Chain A
Amino acid sequence: MIDPIFLVEAMVNGVLLGGVIALLALGLNLIFGVLDIVWIAYVDLVMLCMYAIYFLVTVHGWPFWAAGLVSLGVGALLGVAVHLLIISPILTSPPVNQLLATGGLLFFVQSAATLLWTTDHRSVRLSLPSWEIGGIFIPATRLIPFGISILAVIGLYLFLTRTYIGTAIRAVSQDREAMSLMGASPQRIYVVTSAVGGLMAGLAGALLIFQYAVHPFFGGQFGPLTFMVCVLGGLGNMVGAFVASFIMSEVIAVGGVVMSTEMGYVIAFVIFIVMIFIRPGGILARRQ
């Protein structure tokens, strides 16, 4: 019998982790939903942003918040670069070629990171407090990223619903051919979408470096999970992705305590597979 206090602590950790996963899922959902191309290497962009912060803070002595802002810029630039260099030429290619182009990017980025920075794990040392509430420890290194990610999610929601460009993005994700007929330029929407998606990756990188060491294969740790959350929530459905993030992170956190770390992920993935059959359009989609 597992001490209930461990279960509660796992659930709290699940919520805190869910916030950052939500960031990843929403950024990917934006790109996936609008362009309908699977950016397999999305989380590897996050890995590059984490490295940017590591070097600025640890090697060059920048304050963390300034490095975080640079990370946002790096993420946005990477997003645009990936779109212009790789995605644009293959917009009309068969899905498998689109998949493999970003798969090649995954190999390229991972290997380039290995070449430049070796396979050592690097982390940023932050001296932050940890609070105890009723026997449960809540470290600031998890609480702060959670808070910021919630703010970012709210910001993204406002951007998509209250700005002209945001409305255009949602319109393209619904029907890109009709949008062309309306005179709007999908190409410009694509670039903006990639930039925003990249920005989200940069922010996620800044928040993940709080609690994880960065290494060239970091993308393998969160990549598949991000895809599951994205599809589980429903492509183009931001609220669904948000909800799915917390469901998945809870399963992983609690499963990791009850069984083992790997089994937590196994259960999460199995749940994803089953949900795809039950709710193909996402957990919040109405049955057609």
Chain B
Amino acid sequence: MTRGRVLAGALLLVLLLQPLIPLGGYRQYVLHVTIQIFIWSFIGSAWSLMGRFQLVSLGHGAFLGVGAYATVLLWNVYGVTPWLGAVAGMILAGLLAVVVGLPCFRFRVVGHYFGLVTLAVGEVIRLLIIAERDWTAGSLGLTLRSAGGDSLWAVQYGSKQVFYYGSLAMFLIGLWIWHRVDRSMARAALESIGEDETAAASVGIHVTRFKLGITVLSAALTALGGSLYAQAIAYVNPETLAGIGVSLKIVFAVVLGGMYTLLGPLVGTALTTALSEFLRILFGLKLLGMADTIYGLLLIIFIIFLPDGIYGSLRAALARRAARSAGGAGVAAKASV
């Protein structure tokens, strides 16, 4: 445990100092990629709050889109500060989660059916954004209205360092929330619900309430991720922030990293982002489509051969080694984190 804390502290120190590392012309690019990793790790952690309990959502793009568009539209049209816009986005996403989740859980929509209902919700949000093009600009996307300079009120800064530290802070908050859920009684309740809903109900667990609670929390946090993404990129588009494509990418990163561990989403997101960027730089426009072709192929291979995710598999392997080296004298405790 002490060793773990030292390692965590060292890693955090490295992260805090990264913007100061002299990288010359590459600094802006490295900061950009790292910001993306933090934001999508946060979103992935939010998704895994549901995913780890067998609530596999294919529609988290809906919450992401609601959060991003709420923030941008409120600022562009009414001049509402993104600090409040993000809150509005979270509330709207929470309401959407209730509207969809409550009937699902009350009527026992589970497994594939739940996945497909959420997929439909994701498509509905994406198509609504496109259909209401008169005020959302549809497929063209929206650009953040400039505040005319650096502004705390408008959350607009020319320097990427500000967004680096902001996204790092939000990512750490996401980890803390994940950890709190992991240590709560709700976790035990939700795990039993995921395994056998009827049995869980028979011992007195209020199934609908627990599922709805975790769903609303996940939706609100995802919307917050959408808001920060919108501020960092200054542009929103229905294809990159809603619908099945982005929803699948969120799920991929989390499952690849391992959704039952604290750092799984981070590992998964870092790997998929690094892989994506590496292939994009390698092939670029010379072989249009080659980067994503290899990316898709590698995703398939990872999913088939590392079912617990990369980080999850590594931890399992280490646990087995520790158990073996103990000579069977003691039972290897399954530690999370």
* A contacts, CB < 8 Å to B: 32, 36, 38, 40, 86, 89-90, 93-97, 99-101, 103-116, 118-119, 216, 220, 223-224, 227-228, 231, 235, 259-263, 265-266, 269-270, 272-273, 276-277, 280
B100 contacts the other chain (CB 8 A): yes
Contact between chains at A260 and B131 (CB < 8 Å) = yes
Complex alpha-carbon distance, A269 and B100, angstroms: 13
Contact between chains at A104 and B303 (CB < 8 Å) = yes
Number of A-B contacts (CB under 8 A): 147
Complex alpha-carbon distance, A277 and B99, angstroms: 12
Question: Which residues in B have their C-beta under 8 angstroms from that of A89?
Answer: 304
What residue in chain B is nearest A108 (Cβ atoms)? Answer: B296
Contact between chains at A108 and B303 (CB < 8 Å) = no
Binding stretch for chain A, among B66-74, B116-124, B217-225, B323-331 = B116-124
Contact between chains at A224 and B119 (CB < 8 Å) = yes
Contact between chains at A114 and B289 (CB < 8 Å) = yes
CB distance from B134 to the nearest CB of A (A): 11
Identify 30 residue pairs between A and B in the complex whose beta-carbon atoms are under 8 Å apart, listed by A's number: A36-B112, A94-B307, A95-B56, A96-B56, A96-B251, A99-B251, A103-B251, A106-B296, A107-B299, A108-B299, A109-B296, A110-B296, A112-B289, A112-B296, A228-B116, A228-B120, A231-B116, A259-B131, A262-B128, A262-B131, A266-B131, A269-B123, A269-B124, A270-B124, A273-B124, A276-B104, A276-B107, A276-B109, A276-B113, A280-B107
Given A90-B304, A114-B288, A115-B289, is A277 in contact with B109 using a C-beta cutoff of 8 Å? yes
What residue in chain A is nearest B108 (Cβ atoms)? Answer: A280
Contact between chains at B297 and A269 (CB < 8 Å) = no
From A96, A114, A265, name the one whose CB has the most chain B CB atoms within 10 angstroms. A96
| Candidates B100, B123, B292; contact of A110 at CB < 8 Å | B292
Complex alpha-carbon distance, A259 and B120, angstroms: 19
Contact between chains at A265 and B251 (CB < 8 Å) = no
Question: Which residues in A have their C-beta under 8 angstroms from that of B31?
Answer: none
What residue in chain B is nearest A36 (Cβ atoms)? Answer: B112
Complex alpha-carbon distance, A93 and B124, angstroms: 30
| Candidates B58, B103, B130; contact of A277 at CB < 8 Å | B103
B285-308 interface code vs A (CB 8 A; 1 in, 0 out): 001111111011101100110010
Contact between chains at A111 and B292 (CB < 8 Å) = yes
Classify chain B's interface size: 35 or more
Complex alpha-carbon distance, A115 and B120, angstroms: 29
Contact between chains at A103 and B131 (CB < 8 Å) = no
Given A103-B252, A272-B120, is A220 in contact with B244 using a C-beta cutoff of 8 Å? yes
| Secondary structure of the A contact surface, majority rule | helix
Contact between chains at B127 and A262 (CB < 8 Å) = yes
B85 contacts the other chain (CB 8 A): no
What residue in chain B is nearest A225 (Cβ atoms)? Answer: B123
B184-222 at interface with A (beta carbon < 8 Å): none
B115 contacts the other chain (CB 8 A): yes
| Candidates A99, A223, A266, A272; contact of B115 at CB < 8 Å | A99
Contact between chains at A108 and B297 (CB < 8 Å) = yes
B49 contacts the other chain (CB 8 A): no
- Apart from A224-B120, A227-B116, A260-B131, what 20 extra A-B contacts exist at CB < 8 Å? A38-B112, A89-B304, A90-B303, A90-B307, A95-B56, A97-B303, A99-B251, A101-B304, A111-B290, A111-B292, A220-B244, A231-B112, A231-B116, A259-B131, A262-B127, A266-B124, A276-B104, A277-B103, A277-B109, A280-B113
Complex alpha-carbon distance, A258 and B295, angstroms: 41
B319 contacts the other chain (CB 8 A): no
What residue in chain B is nearest A231 (Cβ atoms)? Answer: B116
Contact between chains at B296 and A105 (CB < 8 Å) = yes
B9 contacts the other chain (CB 8 A): no
Complex alpha-carbon distance, A113 and B290, angstroms: 10
Contact between chains at B113 and A231 (CB < 8 Å) = yes
- Report, nearest first, the 10 A-B pairs whose CB atoms are least far apart: A108-B296, A114-B289, A107-B296, A115-B289, A111-B292, A262-B131, A104-B299, A104-B300, A111-B293, A277-B103
CB distance from A251 to the nearest CB of B (A): 13
B66-101 at interface with A (beta carbon < 8 Å): 100
CB distance from A114 to the nearest CB of B (A): 3
CB distance from B16 to the nearest CB of A (A): 34
B284 contacts the other chain (CB 8 A): no
Contact between chains at A265 and B123 (CB < 8 Å) = yes
Contact between chains at B100 and A273 (CB < 8 Å) = yes
B255 contacts the other chain (CB 8 A): yes
